[in-house]
Structure 1
Amino acid sequence: MLDIDILEDHAKAVANVASDAAMRYFRGRLGIEFKPDESPVTQADKQVEAEVRAYLKLHFPDHGVFGEEEGKDMGDGRHMWVIDPIDGTRSFLSGHPLFGFLLAHLSEGRAELGVVGMPALDETFVGVVGKGATLNDLPIHVSDQTRLDQAILFVNEGDKIYRDHPDVFSRLMQAGQTRRFAYDCYPHALLAAGHVDAVVDYDLQPYDFLALSPLIEAAGGVMTDWDGNALTLESDGAVVSAATPALHAALLDVLHTGQPG
């Protein structure tokens, strides 16, 4: 049985490795390629993941690793690290500072630890399920907002939601007191810290959301797929995060029944 405190210490060290690697490239000259889905990948993405994998291989040689750039190594089948080296490559390559680094540790398939690093902001969010969440080692907690009509709501990947689910998009535009549009991981981190009340996100991969789920849960919030199911490696990538169960339930109603709170 691995000591979760040891895992947390290593996860923080990995976040520092990733931050240092990313900032060597940020707002510099980038070599950019495009994947088959037309999403960009830079030299920085590859370098960050390579350095993180090297750290994990050194300290946890038996663990599996699943990264966006280099794919999946199952390892012992019980422990897995999930990496998004630069969450928000389009932000990164355009000089926008709201890109992140994501790291999750899964034990027997369950995400028990999540890290969101924001290199350009010098912020590191860490959540350990059952222990709590921190920002730069100071405790954080979600808000106590229960009413959707009074909530600060972020809609991530709004253009994709509009393209694929225009009815859902229309309902979201009537939900919440304050609505903001965004991409990438930062709104979920802000939710964990109590600044944002809810986030609806879409078209994510496991390395995009598996670090967010334990962070938000550890901070006292709720994060599931659009059907209210717990997030796993097999989830479809449509997710919803909320500060409270009541607010989460209200958002699920919006997504499925069209009754904004």
Structure 2
Amino acid sequence: MPITSADLELATRLADAAAAIIRPLFRTDTGIVAKADQSPVTVADREAELAMRRLIVAERPMDGIVGEEHGVREGSSGRVWVLDPIDGTRAFIAGRPIFGTLIALIEDGWPLLGVIDQPILRERWLGAVGQPTFFNGRPAHSRRCAALADALLATTSPALFDDGQLHAFEHLDAGVRSTVLGGDCYNYGAVASGWIDIVVEAGLKLHDFAALVPVVEGAGGRMCDWAGDPLHAGSTGEVIAAGDPARIDDILDAMACRGH
């Protein structure tokens, strides 16, 4: 089923609902606790996701939901909303406005619509399959990159790679112009807007990457896994985003990860 204006409008209202929860809690004591995997979570994470879930249940009761904080709600429409209320909780806790709310709509496991929303800076990327990506209401465009040696590379943290992944990343890192660390989902918005050329990460879950794909690709970039295959619900979480699709083969060759 193609993405409709009603889908885009609902995605926008979901982002608004999450932002209304998050903004007042930014740079406050938000009741930080550790999840089972020792990653942090805050009241803002949990309440923002609940606000989005309530809207979906009210307006799309047949759709499924996958949320980072509140789990799975089964649906019958074949469509699933994938929610990460605060991607970059550590940045949120540290008072750094480079986290984001991620909202995706997937069908048969494939991302069709994505939102990256930075509620403090009031920056929002909205992308959908077959449509251009918009940044704050204006078309977003990734930039061309003539060679890896010209590229600005980003990753949230090399500490998130295992030994083999880190080795592959270091090969790529050695061949680019410069590398920046930190940023979580904000890096992918920066790819869509032509500020960063490449993002490489691993260990991502569906709620971490589903929203990113329509945003980056609708701006003229490409996303894939470390084997060069398209990202979907069954992907392993090894992710590459390139503002210039012509550089994907160069990236894979540099990482020596074809057939990974």
SS in 2 for 1:240: strand
1:97, 1:166 → 2: CA distance? 27
How much has 1:174 moved relative to structure 2?
0.5
Structure 2 equivalent of residue 132 of structure 1: 132
- AA aligned to 2:201 is D
In structure 2, the residue matched to 1:209 is 209
Q: 1:51 to 1:187 in 2, by over 3 A?
A: same
Secondary structure of 2:208's aligned partner: helix
- Counterpart of 1:132 in 2: which secondary structure? coil
Q: Distance in 2 between matches of 1:200 and 1:90?
A: 19
**What amino acid is aligned across from residue 97 of structure 1 in structure 2?**
P
Matched, 1:188 2:198: no
Q: CA deviation at 1:24?
A: 1.9
Q: 1:53 and 1:14 mapped to 2: Cα distance?
A: 8
Change beyond 3 A, Cα 1:3–1:190: closer
Aligned to 2:120, the other structure's residue is in SS state: helix
Structure-1 residue corresponding to 2:85: 85
Bigger mean CA deviation after superposition, 84-93 or 29-38:
29-38
Alignment partner, residue 120 of structure 1 = 120
Render the CA deviation track for 1:45-83: whole Å, top value 9, x for unaligned.
100000000011111111000000111112015111000
Give the Å deviation of 1:163.
4.6
Q: Which amino acid is the alignment partner of residue 227 of structure 1? A: A
SS of match in other structure, 1:121: coil
Give the aligned residue type for 1:215.
V
State the shift of 1:220 in Å: 1.0
Number of the residue aligned with 2:96: 96
Report how many residues are paired. Answer: 258
Equivalent in the alignment of 1:249: 249
Q: Normalised by the size of structure 1, how large is the TM-score? A: 0.94
Asked whether the 8 Å contact 1:161–1:168 carries over to 2, the reply is no
Corresponding position of 1:63: 63
Identity in percent: 35
Structure 1 residues 149 and 21 mapped into 2: Cα distance closer, same or farther (>3 Å)? same
**Equivalent residue runs for 1:1-261 within 5 Å:** 1=1, 4-161=4-161, 163=163, 165-256=165-256
CA contact (8 A) 1:162 1:169 kept: no
Partner SS for 1:165 = helix
* Rounded Cα–Cα distance in structure 2 between residues aligned with 1:174 and 1:3: 40
1:127-186 Cα distance to aligned partner (Å, 9 max, x none): 111110001111111101141111111123312226553422321330211211124101
TM-score normalised over the length of structure 2: 0.94
Change (3 A) 1:51 1:257: closer
CA pair 157-164 structure 1, distance change in 2 beyond 3 A:
farther
In 1, the alpha carbon distance for the partners of 2:156 and 2:79 equals 30
Tell me how large the CA RMSD over aligned residues is.
1.6
Task: Report the Cα distance in structure 2 between the residues aligned to 1:152 and 1:169, rounded to whole angstroms.
Answer: 14
Q: Which runs of 5+ in 1 are unaligned?
A: none
SS in 2 for 1:167: helix
Report the more deviating stretch, 45-54 or 181-190. 181-190
In 2: Cα distance, 1:115 partner to 1:81 partner: 11
Distance 1:155 1:176 in 2: 13
Q: In the alignment, residue 114 of structure 1 is paired with which amino acid?
A: G
The answer as to whether partners of 1:156 and 1:202 remain within 8 angstroms in 2 is no
Per-residue CA deviations over 1:208-232 (Å, capped at 9, x if unaligned) read 0000011111111100111111111
Q: Find the aligned partners of 1:164 and 1:39 in 2 and give their Cα distance.
A: 23
